[in-house]
Amino acid sequence: MTPKSAVRRVFVAVQVSVTTSEIYARADARMKRLALEQAYSPTVIDDVPAWQDDQDLLSWLQKVCQ
C-alpha cells in the first residue's frame, strides 16, 4: 500500500464511522518508511571517484601518518 492509497482509505473510512477512520488513519512503520523514501532524494552520489583510486591522496595520507 502506498501512502497515497492510505490517504484514500482514510477518506472512505470517514464516511463509515469515526472508529473505523481512526484505525485507517494510523500509519505503520512500513508506510512511514515509504513516505520518507519518496520525500527525499538520495544522499549518496555515485559519480564521485573512490578515494582508494587516488594515488596522490594515498601517498599524502601515508606521509601524514608517519
Question: What is d(CA 25, CA 9) in angstroms, rounded to the nearest whole number?
Answer: 8
pLDDT (0 to 100) of residue 7: 52
Quote the pLDDT of residue 60.
95
Decide: 6 and 41 in contact? Cβ < 8 Å.
no
Residue 41 CB neighbour total at 10 angstroms: 4
Report the pLDDT value the prediction gives residue 13, as an integer from 0 to 100: 47
- Residue in this structure with the C-alpha cell 500509519, named with its chain if needed: 27
**Inter-residue contact 38 to 3 (CB < 8 Å):** yes
DSSP state of 40: S
pTM higher than the cut 0.85: no
Model pLDDT for residues 4-57, shown as the tens digit of each residue: 555 555 555 445 566 665 666 677 888 888 888 888 877 777 776 788 889 999
